[in-house]
Amino acid sequence: MKHAYLILAHHEFELLACLVEGLDDPRNTIFIHFDSKVSALPTLKTKFANLFVLEERIDVRWGDVSIVEAELRLFQMAQDSGNFSHYHLLSGVDMPLQTQDVIHSFCAAHPNKQFIGYSQGDQRAHVERKVQRYHIFPRHFRASGNLADRLRKILRFLCLRLQFVLNVKRNQDIEFKKGTQWLSLTADFVAFLLVQKEEILKRYSYTFCADEIFVQTACWNSPFRSQIYDLKDEGNGSQRMIQWRDNQLIDWQDKDFDTLAHSQLLFARKFNEANSDVVQKLLTNIRLR
């Protein structure tokens, strides 16, 4: 079996090089999308895996549908490039926790499973606010604090309040689900997604954080629902070890090595260059197995 690794990257390229090293295997092909705002691309080399960088890059904005578009481009490029049994979506600051032998064996043992994490609890209010209302100025969710951004923030708030008062709801023909953006999918489900590419981009335009919703929703409302690996545990379902505290994503630190090294999950996110020792230790741990 061959695997495609799809990476969204925009900074911390020393970590990206470590990630590529951890994925470097003749059974793998690596596809990387660099945010178009990155002016100087890093030089990345592999010994065994094929590596491709998307030439048509997108200006990715947090919370905007441009993230979804970048993901779909990665899936499309990978599908057009070869026959892969599994597609793994990672950020440039993620790391594998297992050897490639373990990852390939795990996927072979579950050949028709979709490793998609689903958030627990009642998410209807979150989903309604994010994708069933119109969010104006979607490319400016992260404001810089200048006058124009402050005005956009005020107008966005007023627009949302007006929609609540008037009960304006869009996208009512589908049941939405949400969860982590990072996942591993089979070739059949990727093909299913890409057939709907234009519909997906249209449905999620002028929404907020659709990258945490569109795959979960597509799978839930399809025959692939029965293939979801684990609906009750978001981390196990996605095979990602992700650390949260008070609804904030927490970077793994050097002191967390033992916790990470003893995990049975396939991947972890996220890391930073200030705590690069734990990344090097994970790479060494993988090599020694």
pLDDT(99) > 90: yes
At residue 232, φ and ψ (nearest 5 deg) are -95, -15
pLDDT(264) > 90: yes
Those residues whose C-beta lies under 8 Å from the C-beta of residue 46, and which sit 6 or more positions away, are 20, 24, 30
Query: Looking at the structure, do residues 216 and 161 belong to the same domain, yes or no?
Result: no
pLDDT per residue as tens digits for the range 206-222 = 999 999 999 999 999 99
Query: Looking at the structure, do residues 145 and 18 belong to the same domain, yes or no?
Result: no
Q: Provide, rounded to the nearest whole percent, the portion of the chain with pLDDT above 90.
A: 82
Residue 33 lies in a domain: yes
CA separation for the pair 116, 213 (Å, rounded): 11
CA separation for the pair 218, 175 (Å, rounded): 9
CA separation for the pair 173, 193 (Å, rounded): 18
Query: Looking at the structure, do residues 112 and 144 belong to the same domain, yes or no?
Result: no
Give the pairing of strands 86-91 and 240-245: unpaired
**Domain region containing 146:** 134-166
pLDDT at 122 (0 to 100): 84
Residue 255 lies in a domain: no
pLDDT per residue as tens digits for the range 156-186 = 999 999 998 998 999 998 999 999 999 999 9
Nearest to 99 by CA among 273, 267, 279, 281: 267
Q: What is the CATH number of the domain that holds 67?
A: 3.90.550.10
pLDDT per residue as tens digits for the range 216-253 = 999 999 999 999 999 999 999 999 999 988 778 899 99
